[in-house]
Amino acid sequence: MLNELVRILREGRRFVITTHKHPDGDGLGAMFALGRSLRIAGKEAVLLSEEPLTPPFDRMRGAETVLQNYTPNGEPVTLILLDCADFDRPGKVVESFKGDAEVVNIDHHFTNTFFGRYNWVEPECSSTGELIYRLLQHAGFPIDREIAENLFIAIQSDTGSFRYENATAAAFSTAAALVGTYGVRPSRCARLILDEYPCARLYLLRSALGTLETHLRGKIAMVTVSLDMYREAHASTSDSDTFVDYPRFLSGVEIGVLVRQTAEDAYKFSLRSNDFADVAALAKQFGGGGHKRAAGFDAQGRLADIKLLFLGAAAEMLEAHAA
């Protein structure tokens, strides 16, 4: 597949690259890196994202080149989806391509549906960024400092700065190459994406920590952020992006849960597991998905009802494991 992709990159003239909605450091880092490398190699590369980028991602180098829509003019184009488990993940921006374009699917989610004409899916790989590094290396396509930095950000953010289960030997050696060969500064990347935030985030964190609750004899810990809290702290949704780690890291916890209110009766559940629980399977029961150790779902209704259903399903999963 890698050789096939190299051929496509070499022969293609016009590429449209996109990633999933609510993009993260991995999808965007991979997209900026691939887009810039193709452009330096003399190709046309259009980068698409359904919504304008929000902080901290709008600070990434390459963010200024992202478009919100693009209408193919009939000329042949290769559409590359990065970090997308299925074809719908990017949202409306890919609708106009249906049936038309040669679709390339590069991803590391094990739930990937192999929706492309060409599918390079490596669930064992730390991140889509690491795949793009391998692809560019293999193809002999250009990598400069900016590309290397975006690839590093992709790996760093998807591995929780090299401390989640996907912090593999390959992730570390790729990072070593990006730092050693291209002069990437990990502290600069961390500060760009993970480690710089407005006071509002700390105000929000303070109120969120006040909602900490534990269930199922401490196996599940949960933190909730309401619309009121966002409002009072003058914070945005992305300010709570990493809050799920607070309940997750408590001693004895297997599943950490962050509940974010998104509208009057709408909630987004983010799930993380520490040792054994397959939270992708758990999220799937509620129409969501993700990785074994990191997944999520959206739910409508009264929060108390949703929580009850969720805790029931989680209890079943934990009991099945204990048995």
CA distance 144 to 8: 21
The burial class, CB within 10 Å (0-12 / 13-18 / 19+), for 153 is: buried
Token representation of residue 139 = 């193809």
CA distance 45 to 77: 10
Q: Using an 8 Å Cβ cutoff, are 51 and 150 in contact?
A: no
Nearer to its own copies, 157 or 261 (CB): 157
Nearer to its own copies, 72 or 198 (CB): 198
How many Cα atoms are found within 13 Å in the side-chain-facing hemisphere of 47?
24
* Closest separation in Å from C-beta 162 to its own copies: 4
Nearer to its own copies, 78 or 159 (CB): 159
- DSSP secondary structure letters along 147-164: HHHHHHHHHHHHTTTTTS
* Closest separation in Å from C-beta 196 to its own copies: 6
The per-residue b/e assignment along 203-222, b for 16 or more CB within 10 angstroms, e otherwise, is bbbebbeeeeeebeeebbbb
* Closest separation in Å from C-beta 69 to its own copies: 31
Nearer to its own copies, 250 or 303 (CB): 250
* Closest separation in Å from C-beta 151 to its own copies: 13
Terminal alpha carbon distance of the chain: 41
* Closest separation in Å from C-beta 20 to its own copies: 24
DSSP character at residue 204: H
Q: Which residues contact 159 (CB under 8 A, 6 or more apart)?
A: 126, 127, 166, 167, 171
**Residues making contact with its own copies (CB under 8 A):** 156, 160-165, 167-170, 172-173, 175-177, 179-180, 185-187, 189-191, 194-199, 202-203, 205-206, 209-210, 212, 214, 245-246, 248-251, 274
Nearer to its own copies, 101 or 148 (CB): 148
Helix (H, G, I), strand (E, B) or coil at 27: helix
The DSSP bridge pattern shows strands 213-215 and 220-225 to be antiparallel
Nearer to its own copies, 133 or 297 (CB): 133
Nearer to its own copies, 14 or 134 (CB): 134
Q: Using an 8 Å Cβ cutoff, are 91 and 21 in contact?
A: yes
Nearer to its own copies, 31 or 221 (CB): 221
* Closest separation in Å from C-beta 16 to its own copies: 33
* Closest separation in Å from C-beta 205 to its own copies: 6
- Side by side, the strands of the sheet bearing 78-82 are 66-67, 44-48, 14-19, 78-82, 102-107, 118-121
* Closest separation in Å from C-beta 173 to its own copies: 4
